[in-house]
C-alpha cells in the first residue's frame, strides 16, 4: 500500500506521513517495516520493473478504483486516495465473513468458550500469509502465558522449522493446560470471534481479520508483520479500538512482556472499557449487512454507468 510515487530509491521516505495527507495522523510505516517492505515492493525484479510500478500502472490505466472500505469508516482517507489517483475511488463495503455453521469438529472448543466469563478470552491468529519464525512464536507463547488470561490460539508452525511442535516453548502447553487452547490447522475464526466470551483479538492486522473482529465488536491487539498491516494498525490505534504491541524501533523485535501488557491493557485494565465502547460503535459499521450491501450495489451501478459510457 505504498501511497505516493511508485519509484523509490531507498526505503526511508516510506517511514513518514506523505505531505499530500491534509490532516494530522500517525499512519505511516515504521523504519523496520519500511526496510522490510522496500525490496519486494519497490526494487525491480527479473522483469525489470517492481511490484509498486505494476500497481501504479494499474491505477493509472483504470477509470475508477474499488476499495474494500466504507465512507463511514475512513472518509478522509478515501478522499486522499481520490485526490491522489485523480479518479473516482468507490468503497465496495467492508464485507466481513459470516460465522460458519460448520465448526469442523470444534464443538468441544465452543463448549469451553461457553464456560468462560464474557469478554475474558483472547483469540490469537496471524493469518495464512504471515510466516513467523520459531523465535517470534515462542515470544508470543510466553506473552500469552504471562498475561494470565484465558486464550485460544490458531497456531501455524514457524517458517524456519518442519516439526509441528516447533515454535512453542518446552512445557508451554502443559503449563497453560485448562487456561489456554492451541489448535493446529483450520479453525472457524468468524464463529469464534462471534462468541460472547472473546474479549480481544491478537492479530497481525490483516484487513480480512480486522473486518471479522470489528464486525463482532472485539477489541484488537495488533502485531503487524507484513505489507500494509503496519498502516492498518496505526489507523486502528488512532480510532481507539485497540493497541499495538510495543516493538523495538530498529529491528521490530518484541518481548513476552510487550504481548502480555498489550493484552491486559485491552481486556482487564480500566482503559479497556474505552476500547470496548469504540469497538461497539464500529461494529455497527463493519457488521451492518445493509450498509455493506448498499456499497456493493452502488459499486455495480458505477460499473454499469462506465460501461454504458464506453459503449456510447
State the greatest distance between any 2 C-alpha atoms of the chain, in Å, as a whole number.
70
In this prediction, residue 276 carries a pLDDT of 94
Q: Which residues of 22-41 are buried (b: 16+ CB within 10 A; e: fewer)?
A: eeeeebbbbbbbbbbbbeeb
pLDDT band of residue 166 (cuts 50, 70, 90) is low
pLDDT band of residue 2 (cuts 50, 70, 90) is very low
pLDDT at 200 over 60: yes
Cα–Cα distance between 157 and 164 in angstroms, integer? 5
CATH number of the structural domain 107-286: 3.40.50.2000
User: Domain limits of the chain?
Assistant: 107-286
pLDDT band of residue 162 (cuts 50, 70, 90) is low
Cα–Cα distance between 310 and 308 in angstroms, integer? 5
In this prediction, residue 268 carries a pLDDT of 95
Mean pLDDT of 137-154: 98
Q: Which residues of 257-281 are buried (b: 16+ CB within 10 A; e: fewer)?
A: ebbbbbbbbbbbeeebeebbebbee
Mean pLDDT lowest among 10-24, 100-114, 235-249: 10-24
Cα–Cα distance between 36 and 29 in angstroms, integer? 10
Q: What are phi and psi of 216, to 5 degrees?
A: -100, 10
pLDDT at 262 over 70: yes
Amino acid at each position: 500500500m505504498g501511497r505516493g510515487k511508485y519509484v523509490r530509491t531507498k526505503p526511508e521516505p516510506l517511514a513518514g506521513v506523505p505531505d499530500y495527507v491534509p490532516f494530522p495522523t500517525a499512519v505511516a510505516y515504521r523504519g523496520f517495516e519500511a526496510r522490510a517492505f522496500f525490496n519486494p515492493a519497490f526494487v525491480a525484479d527479473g522483469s525489470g520493473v517492481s511490484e509498486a510500478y505494476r500497481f501504479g500502472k494499474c491505477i493509472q490505466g483504470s477509470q475508477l478504483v474499488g476499495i474494500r472500505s466504507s465512507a463511514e469508516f475512513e472518509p478522509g482517507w478515501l478522499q486522499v486516495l481520490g485526490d491522489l489517483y485523480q479518479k473516482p475511488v468507490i468503497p465496495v463495503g467492508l464485507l466481513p465473513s459470516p460465522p460458519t455453521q460448520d465448526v469442523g469438529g470444534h464443538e468441544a472448543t465452543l463448549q469451553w468458550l461457553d464456560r468462560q466469563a464474557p469478554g475474558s478470552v483472547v483469540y490469537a491468529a496471524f493469518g495464512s500469509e504471515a510466516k513467523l519464525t520459531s523465535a517470534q512464536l515462542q515470544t508470543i507463547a510466553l506473552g500469552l502465558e504471562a498475561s494470565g488470561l484465558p486464550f485460544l490460539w490458531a497456531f501455524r508452525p514457524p517458517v524456519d522449522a518442519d516439526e509441528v511442535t516447533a515454535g512453542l516453548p518446552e512445557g508451554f502447553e502443559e503449563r497453560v493446560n485448562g487456561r489456554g487452547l492451541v489448535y493446529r490447522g483450520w479453525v472457524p475464526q468468524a464463529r469464534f470471534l462471534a462468541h460472547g466470551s472473546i474479549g480481544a483479538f491478537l492479530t497481525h492486522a490483516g484487513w480480512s481479520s480486522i473486518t471479522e473482529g470489528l464486525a463482532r465488536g472485539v477489541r484488537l491487539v495488533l502485531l503487524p508483520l507484513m505489507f500494509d498491516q503496519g498502516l492498518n494498525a496505526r489507523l486502528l490505534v488512532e480510532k481507539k479500538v485497540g493497541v499495538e504491541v510495543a516493538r523495538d524501533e530498529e529491528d521490530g523485535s518484541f518481548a513476552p512482556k510487550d504481548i502480555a501488557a498489550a493484552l491486559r491493557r485491552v481486556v482487564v485494565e480500566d482503559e479497556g472499557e474505552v476500547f470496548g465502547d469504540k469497538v461497539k460503535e464500529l461494529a455497527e459499521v463493519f457488521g451492518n449487512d445493509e450498509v455493506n450491501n448498499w456499497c456493493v450495489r452502488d459499486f455495480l451501478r458505477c460499473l454499469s454507468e462506465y460501461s454504458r459510457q464506453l459503449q456510447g
